[in-house]
Amino acid sequence: MKLRSWSLHPLAIPYVRKIAWAHSEDTVAPMLLLRLVAEDGSVGAAEAAVKPGWVGMSFRSMASALEDIFLPLAKSVDVLDETAFFLAAGRIPENTSAKGIVDTALWDLRSAVERRPLWQRWGGKNKAPLSWILTRQSPEIMAAEAAEMVGRYGFGEIKLKGGRGLETDLRTIRKVRAAAGSALRIYVDPNSDYDADETPAYLRALADEGVLAVEDPYALRPDARFELIQRESPLPIVVEAHAWSARDTELFCARGAQAVGLKPGRSGLSAAWEQARAAARSGCRVHAGFAGESAFGTLSTLQLAASLPGREHWLAAETSHFVMLREQITVVPIDIVDGSIEMPAVSSCAELVDWEKVERLSHRSIPG
């Protein structure tokens, strides 16, 4: 079966407040929605964040890569072949997010053709647990937000954005626990804002606070220094920003990595599964990380998160931040109950998109 048509829909959905990430502040979430239509009329869709600091692409560069290279490539293959596009695109360097959005949309399209949701085909469960991400604010505000989100949505796990100095990070952890409950599971992401020399003491201090893991404490490399730091650490170091592929994952696992964060919203479902398999061969744990998803993009990422082996014993999926968006593009609300999302009873994620609303929200031209 071949593709009949495609369309691109650039969106910029406002947040309910300004979001302070590690190295930027956002008032809107820029994202690109891709819609694929097969010869039989089946529809698949996927979404990608369009932030140069995250994925190295703008709206115009991603649209050009898609229209000039990857969508024609997708049109040349059998869309029912689960590996054809992924293997062909893998022979073209760079453009990870452009490849990923097509790959994920093709998985969604195949689910529509087969009339069976992807998480079921992959042997997943019908509920996916989520964590909440506390972005950088004052320790007091972060603690108040933790209490609110735990109370409203039932989160049992929080990813806390650190990287503002050991004392500030420790004070934030303590205030969050005091506000949201001592049973709260916490892991910390300093976004590589420490250096390798100070990381061992940082890891020990956070372990003393009962932290589960630390993601990217410094600019990680799969080298002898990483191997030594992880071997002597009382905590798993989650490798995320520096592991975009199965090859990256293999290199880190060979150096003793204990955990890797997967981002199907950044690299596509096939690449994320390749990483998960590479990690499994070394006994390395994985979980689904945040990549700027809307509620629709969250459902796409959760196809994988709900299917990962051993997920009940490790970190939950991080894709809950869609609740900070003022609008969603799904026809029904996506509810978080007791810290989890129940997977919708639809064949493909594209079935849940309000395409009329997408047209209203879409830019008339690709913005720069």
* Residue carrying structure tokens 């905590």: 235
* Residue carrying structure tokens 């869709």: 45
**Per-residue model confidence (pLDDT) at position 366:** 61
Residue 337 to residues 156, 259, 368: CA-CA distances in angstroms? Answer: 11, 27, 38
Show the beta-strand stretches assigned E in 190-337. 214-215, 237-239, 259-262, 285-288
Residue type, 1: M
Indicate the domain borders of the chain. Answer: 3-119+351-361, 120-346
**Per-residue model confidence (pLDDT) at position 72:** 98
Do 130 and 156 contact (CB within 8 A), yes or no?
no
| Rounded Cα–Cα distance for residues 55 and 249 (Å) | 18
- pTM (2 d.p.): 0.95
**Per-residue model confidence (pLDDT) at position 312:** 65
Residue type, 214: V
Quickly name the fold that domain 3-119+351-361 has: Enolase-like; domain 1 (3.30.390)
Q: What is the DSSP letter of 290?
A: P
Task: Look up residue 266 and give its two tokens.
Answer: 């950044």
Do 194 and 163 contact (CB within 8 A), yes or no?
yes
Residue 59 to residues 9, 48, 183, 266, 354: CA-CA distances in angstroms? Answer: 10, 10, 42, 14, 21
Task: Look up residue 343 and give its two tokens.
Answer: 């997977």
**Per-residue model confidence (pLDDT) at position 364:** 59
Three-state DSSP at 343 gives: coil
| Rounded Cα–Cα distance for residues 261 and 244 (Å) | 9
Task: Look up residue 332 and give its two tokens.
Answer: 């029904």
**Per-residue model confidence (pLDDT) at position 20:** 86
pLDDT in tens, the chain (368 residues): 999 999 999 999 999 999 988 778 899 999 999 999 999 999 999 999 999 989 999 999 999 999 999 999 999 999 999 999 999 999 999 999 999 999 999 999 999 999 999 999 999 999 999 999 999 999 999 999 999 999 999 999 999 999 999 999 999 999 999 999 999 999 999 999 999 999 999 999 999 999 999 999 999 999 999 999 999 999 999 999 999 999 999 999 999 999 999 999 999 999 999 999 999 999 999 999 999 999 999 999 999 999 997 766 799 999 999 999 999 999 999 999 999 999 998 999 999 999 999 999 887 556 65
Do 173 and 191 contact (CB within 8 A), yes or no?
no
**Per-residue model confidence (pLDDT) at position 32:** 96
Residue 330 to residues 296, 298, 302, 354, 355: CA-CA distances in angstroms? Answer: 6, 11, 15, 5, 9
Task: Look up residue 6 and give its two tokens.
Answer: 């495609």
Which of the listed CATH numbers 3.20.20.120, 3.40.50.150, 3.40.640.10, 2.60.40.790 matches domain 120-346? 3.20.20.120
| Rounded Cα–Cα distance for residues 38 and 54 (Å) | 31
The answer for 236, left when phi > 0, alpha when psi is -120 to 50, beta otherwise, is beta
Do 192 and 221 contact (CB within 8 A), yes or no?
no
**Per-residue model confidence (pLDDT) at position 363:** 73
**Strand order from edge to edge, sheet including 157-161:** 132-134, 157-161, 185-189, 214-215, 237-239, 259-262, 285-288
